[in-house]
A and B are shown apart, each in its own frame.
Chain A
Amino acid sequence: MKQQEVLFQYLLRLGDTNLILGHRLSELCGHGPVLEEDIALTNIALDLIGQSRILLSYAAKAEGQGRTEDDLAYLRDVGQFRNLLLAEVPNGDFAVTICRLFLYSAYTCELLTLLCDSKDEYLAGYAAKALKEATYHLRHSTNWMVRLGDGTAESHHRLQTALNRLWMYIPELFDGDAIDVQLQETGIAPDPNVLKEKWNTRVNAVLAEATLNRPPDQWMGKGGRDGIHTEHLGFILAELQYLQRAYPGNQW
């Protein structure tokens, strides 16, 4: 694959994951367990969608077909989305919402730290900005992981259940393919194996503090980065893209 095409695909993976997770969190706006948390989750949704705009705009530029961030977000169908499956998982209870955010933020914090040294200057600049936000997402979700894990018997049980449920989507985060290899060779993106080690160290420490058991590794749920998604993504896009699909070509 040509370098620009590889970069385009990589940027879609990053941008789509943030868009879909941001969409999931935005579904909770107005329905948080307490007003302060409503504000915090909305803030995180805003950060993720904001990051996605930067990534999708850059992806469109790398592609060079004259598409925009909105063309990519609103006019692609399920099979063209490249997000991680973890982002699609429904919000469930607050334990699922927080655990999903924690597992993902622990990943993005490591990824963005390494991307700050990317040979792609634009991506490096993006990473430096996004890392500040991701650091807050990780801190916020870590605090809740510990509070819920070491809170009441009920909160502990709910969080352990959420963790067990989400664990199948973790291997996909580190499952490198030809795109990763090519970008790694050119110094644009990091080695997924390095990320995995750092992620494990961080996650294990938080799980221990939260008195949670690390689930055994299992058969992985993957395919998101190749366009094979869960059943949920179709519904997310039906909602997200509704106006653009119902009134094609209009400006809003």
Chain B
Amino acid sequence: MAKNDFIIDIRHIKKSYDGKTVLDDINFYVRKGEFVTLLGPSGCGKTTILRTIAGFIAPDEGSVLLEGKDISQLPPYKRPLNTVFQRYALFPHLDVYDNIAFGLKLQGVPREEIDKRVKKMLKMVSLTDYEDRDVESLSGGQQQRVAIARALVNQPKVLLLDEPLAALDINIRKDMQIELKEMHAKLGITFIYVTHDQEEALTLSDTIVVINEGKIQQIGTPSDIYNEPCNEFVADFIGESNILDGRMIEDRKVEFIGHTFDCVDEGFGCDTPVDVVLRPEDIYIMNKLDGAQFTGKVKSCTFKGVHYEMFVDTDNGYELMIQDYNSFETGSVVGLFIKPQDIQVMHKNCTENVLDGVVVDENHVRFLDGKFECNVPEGLCSGDEVEVSFPFDKVELMDYQDEGDAEGKVYFLIYKGDHYHIDVKTSSGLHLLVDTQDVWDKEDLVGINIAPEFITIKAKQQSND
């Protein structure tokens, strides 16, 4: 491969604990001097990636390259990287000076040089004259400054930051964000930053890596990620959005909420089901109806400081969230308009549920850890492996787990204008997608029923002999 300026290159990292996959084939690179943020909900694996780079976790498979050299086998104390931890992890029995000097003393740097560098760092984090202070007498913000100084004084090739601001108050957090960004610009050191706060990620980063369930969802600049999310998860996680079911009629023409719109997307094919993302600030709302693409009735209007947030029922019965600097009276009929470049069209991952199953008898198939009634085609007998498919909207979720043929937990849900799109996860980690009018919350325990006539059973392609 040609020479590049990648300082960190993550290749095919996989990790699982007790059979549970935490990281599933993670691949990305970081350029020298870049500010890269790993963003995702808690438990998505972002911290595991950072700890793998630092060397605290050995991946099951894959490698970490630093400036083209494989460092996967190096212990953490031999990697020229330093970490800032979420809960600071300052050494309580050492004062501020000795905490910062810890790494330099280990490297055998001469005393005068240590003194000079520690003082310079203290000045940079605005803690001059704090040398002799007991670290436990410092505020959270001050402790985190010491932790940053302790890491940066070693002039690491890459600084790893594990949710460094998560434990701080909102005001200090905002100030520290600006300071971190300034430090990054001034020192030219590569930063890899982990956070679950999408706003923080958008503010700080050159590049954002969005992660969910141990998989990279999207890599891009903050504006790419915000304006062109590649799937429902990213669209929902970053900023506020209207996510709607749509159909690509042909290149540059998409249909959703019962209307056809011009857009800028091509290459989806004709008559293809897609997801459409509209940011609330990209829908133009006005009092006059001529010139509008469609109309709606304002359902609610809330003042949010800079803008008003309105929920509008469209003429075809879809609900949209709209943000505008002007307020519109509740109950008034408004004209609505969307520019072609503001419509983000995304491929649907799937258009119906497809799962592996096993035939129990001529009327039952086992899948999703449950036994479901359905019509098993002729020629299939008990024990045969089959492919089971059924539409999203033919799944019925029950209030009590034991009322269903199988059971699961609501894992993720989005409102699609006129219905909820719900991702239900079973205890063994299988996913089921459901379209329903009913309101559920994240973490709700549900029973799963499916009407037998909508379940399609197909023999698996692979022959037994």
Do chains A and B interact in one complex?
Answer: no
User: Chain B: residues with CB nearer than 8 A to chain A?
Assistant: none
